[in-house]
A and B are shown apart, each in its own frame.
Chain A
């Protein structure tokens, strides 16, 4: 079973992830780390997630122009971009990490992000 790690900001995930698992909406081996803002996420945390066994990592932040902290999700997207570059250098598929954007309190984009990453791992 693929292990997926997701980083979500406080505003893009408002539901209990375990409830989503029970309903079969997200992969069972999904771990979500909730951050005050994805702008706080640094590249080492993304890489460490892989070192700790994740097969894929995703980040869900606010829509770029609607970030609660103005530029947090934009910064996160740049860090994801740099993490992709490092993964590529290490011969790890850069598509194993991805940035997604969601509106405030929208659960569907988070579910979709988790499913997208699971399908990428399965490929």
Chain B
């Protein structure tokens, strides 16, 4: 899922400086699952901003809502009517939701409440880890399902660098060297000889270096 985290309170208070009527809009998609922008986080943020504005001597009226998703038009387009009644709409979705409101709701002053951080998995309650870089050219079939693009600090394609020591990455001793793990995994599956095959130079245009990406399925188009 997409992992995000709330922006620092001071940044948010600066963003809504001068706003008298604010609508905070959560999302029940990924950001609800990673406890960043679901119903609960919306109510916490509303209470925190009210307190912050009051402490600064101001006054603000805050309404809240949480949409099923903010990345589908049917859920956000009602904001065209409703959102324009507010000085600002603070979206607690990932950057996709904020952009989509920005695109589709021209009269809405949309602001981001979250920093969108990575595609990750839930390790335990309150802990998430990056697992995918969304690079658009998956090589997981060659690496035992472990991604060297997202999980190697240098996104190396053909084995570890010299900074791999004792199975750890040189950037931080708490970070596993993913190439050590790939080797161990393939070795345990009697597939380590596959690592002798040199991966070709990657075409990074699929990773966003060729501009915004778009996917089309002709059979689903209207």
Partner of A47, one of B8, B10, B40, B48: B48
A91 to B212, CA, bound (A): 40
> Which one of A44, A48, A50 has the highest number of Cβ atoms from chain B below 10 Å of its Cβ?
A44
Q: Are B9 and A90 in contact (CB under 8 A)?
A: yes
Q: In the complex, how many angstroms separate the beta carbon of A92 from the nearest chain B beta carbon? A: 7
Partner of B48, one of A45, A86, A91: A86
Is B192 an interface residue when CB atoms closer than 8 A count as contact?
no
Partner of B50, one of A51, A89, A91: A51
Q: Are B55 and A48 in contact (CB under 8 A)?
A: no
Q: Are A89 and B44 in contact (CB under 8 A)?
A: no
A90 to B53, CA, bound (A): 10
A44 to B50, CA, bound (A): 10
The number of residues on chain B lying at the interface, defined by a beta carbon within 8 Å of a beta carbon of chain A, is 14
A43 to B50, CA, bound (A): 13
Is A42 an interface residue when CB atoms closer than 8 A count as contact?
yes
Chain A window 84-119, contacts with chain B (Cβ cutoff 8 Å), 1 for yes, 0 for no: 001001111000000000000000000000000000
> Which residues of chain A from 45 to 74 have a CB within 8 Å of any chain B CB?
45, 47-48, 50-51
A89 to B49, CA, bound (A): 11
A48 to B52, CA, bound (A): 11
> Which residues of chain B from 30 to 57 have a CB within 8 Å of any chain A CB?
40, 43-44, 46-48, 50-52, 54-55
Q: In the complex, how many angstroms separate the beta carbon of A48 from the nearest chain B beta carbon? A: 5
Q: What bracket does the count of chain A residues touching chain B fall in?
A: 10 to 19
Partner of B51, one of A42, A47, A82: A47
Chain A residues within an 8 Å CB radius of B51: 47-48, 50-51, 90, 92
Chain B residues within an 8 Å CB radius of A44: 43-44, 46-47
A-B contacts, 10 of them at CB < 8 A, read A44-B44, A44-B46, A47-B51, A48-B51, A51-B50, A82-B44, A89-B48, A90-B48, A90-B52, A91-B55
Known: A47-B47, A48-B51, A90-B48. 20 other contacts (CB 8 A): A42-B44, A43-B44, A44-B43, A44-B44, A44-B46, A47-B44, A47-B48, A47-B50, A51-B47, A51-B50, A51-B54, A82-B44, A86-B44, A89-B8, A89-B9, A89-B10, A90-B9, A90-B51, A90-B52, A90-B55
- Enumerate the 6 nearest inter-chain pairs by beta-carbon distance, A residue then B residue, closest first: A44-B47, A89-B9, A47-B47, A51-B51, A43-B44, A44-B43
